[in-house]
Amino acid sequence: MRPDVNQIKEEIRQYSDLLQQLENEVYKVLIGQKHLYSRILIALLTNGHILLEGLPGLAKTTAIKTLSDCTNTKFQRIQFTPDLLPADLIGTQIYNPKDGDFSVKQGPIFANIVLADEINRAPAKVQSALLEAMQEHQVSIGEETFHLDQPFLVMATQNPIEQEGTYPLPEAQVDRFMLKVQVGYPNREEERKIMDRFTEEDDFSLKPILSKEDIFAMRNTIKKIYIDDKVKDYIVDLVFATREPEKFSSKGLLYPASELKVADHNAVDIPFGDLIENGASPRATIYLTLASKAVAFLEGRGYVTPQDVKNVAQNILGHRILITYEAEANEITSTDIVNILLREVPVP
């Protein structure tokens, strides 16, 4: 049965003042980075983990810490380093000689919002321990299993893998992140505001705006947002175009030679099948649907449009497409591939 869009819209309107208060509070500290803020908020409101990638000093950590300060939740920041151990993350068992027994000391993972700072500087064992928490919302210490409190989100930052001392994240872990956001430099005007604000002030007192109950209530509203069957089919088409690009036109989807970055006068259009090693997983379909609903929610609508899907497709699909050596040789990135998919896959 089709939900009442007007009723959903009225339900969304109840949160508009709260969301505006949240934005005003966050921007006491954050300058610019509207795209970054909206993506972190989407992750929070859809129970999805988020990965931020960018060079050091671009406010990745600041953005996450600021938003967490504006929510009435437990926050933990974990600095990932090459010598970090799984026990430093999830906790360990401690022997008590007086009782002759072991007790569990819980680690910093036991929080609502966990900032995994420079996540790709930690070794594989730590990544494995984090993987269980992200997927199952539980951790194992010794023979005991502990469920994590809700909401539970991992908001991670990473430096580009070309940076010294970084490890590429395993594909299985990257897939657990609902969204990945590339963080760039601020523009000149924003840079000037940053200079003024952080050289003249050092006390940014933030108050919590969102409670856990607010977050849960917004999540329930987002799930109710109407999405038409044609838009659902469009989402599935986008995901399947990363796996079976040959089925989307008579010649299959092609990467135009005119858009190749490598100068070659004899270049021809390249079939997408030669560029994509592995396409997006079913998680991409689920996350693309939820994120599109969240975009509609933040814009005050009770229904999803194809443009909502396009707005978040790059953040959902980009890190799930594994490119081939041929793509690398032609300097084609997964970002380039998603951009052409959005242009070529028919929109309802």
Q: Encode pLDDT of 317-347 as tens digits.
A: 999 999 889 888 888 889 999 998 998 888 8
Cα distances (angstroms) measured from residue 294 to each of 25, 65, 205, 227, 247: 20, 21, 28, 12, 30
> Do β-strands 49-53 and 153-158 pair in parallel, antiparallel, or remain unpaired?
parallel
Cα 258 from Cα 254, distance rounded (Å): 11
Structure tokens at 169: 């994240």
In the chain, the largest separation of any two C-alpha atoms, in whole Å, equals 79
> Partners of 151 in the beta sheet?
none
Instruction: Give the model's pLDDT for residue 285.
Output: 95
Which domains, and CATH codes, for the chain? 29-218 (3.40.50.300), 229-344 (1.10.8.80)
How many whole angstroms separate alpha carbon 34 and alpha carbon 11?
25
pLDDT attached to residue 55: 81
pLDDT of residue 235: 96
Q: Report the pLDDT value the prediction gives residue 338, as an integer from 0 to 100.
A: 92
- DSSP letter, residue 148: P
Contacts of 83 (CB under 8 A, 6+ apart): none
Pairwise CA distance, residues 299 & 313, whole Å:
17
Indicate the residue type of 180: K
Which residue positions in the chain have pLDDT lower than 70? 1-3, 161-166, 201-203, 250, 263-265
> Each residue of 45-68: b (16+ CB within 10 Å) or e?
bbbbbbbbbbeeebbbbbbbbbbb
Residue 297 identity (one-letter amino acid) = F
Number of helices and strands in the chain (H, E): 14, 13
State the pLDDT at residue 61: 80
Which residues neighbour 74 within 8 Å (Cβ) at sequence distance 6 or greater? 111, 112, 113, 149
